[in-house]
Amino acid sequence: MSTPKTTNAPIHVESADHLDELIADNDIVLVDYHAEWCGPCKMLEPTVAEIAEETSAVVAKVDIDELQELARDQQIRSVPTLQFYANGEKAHQVIGVQGKDDLVEVIEQLA
């Protein structure tokens, strides 16, 4: 599966291998762990989409119900959880709804 280097929309993660490939192939990756039934996740969705559109970060969305094993392996206990990866390494994590400016600031610090 080939993944574009840059994208203006969040990428739906299909498997743990797909997520690993995204993290390996891109300098900055924001992973949004979410669930369809999660109200705060729905509140955060437009912000995450704007970040995908406006920054150089690749935004990956992981549905914790579809990929339960991946969420368990990443020790995701609440949603939304946002993980930031820089150069293949996990660099930062936040839990809950966050402001766009705060998230963009983390991306800029990692770039």
Output the pLDDT for position 7. 62
Q: How far apart are CA 107 and CA 37, in angstroms?
A: 27
Mean pLDDT by 10 residues, the chain (111 residues): 61 97 97 97 97 96 98 96 97 96 97 89
* CB burial of residue 93 (10 Å; 0-12, 13-18, 19+): middle
The whole model's pTM is what? 0.92
Q: Determine whether 41 is an active site residue.
A: yes
- In order of their start, the domains of the chain are 11-98 (3.40.30.10)
Is the Cα torsion angle 39, 10, 12, 88 positive or negative in sign?
negative
Q: Which of 13, 22, 41, 107 is catalytic?
A: 41
Under DSSP, the state recorded for 22 is H
Q: Residue 38 phi/psi, 5° resolution?
A: -90, 110
Residue 29 host element (H or E) = strand 28-34
Q: Determine whether 74 is an active site residue.
A: no
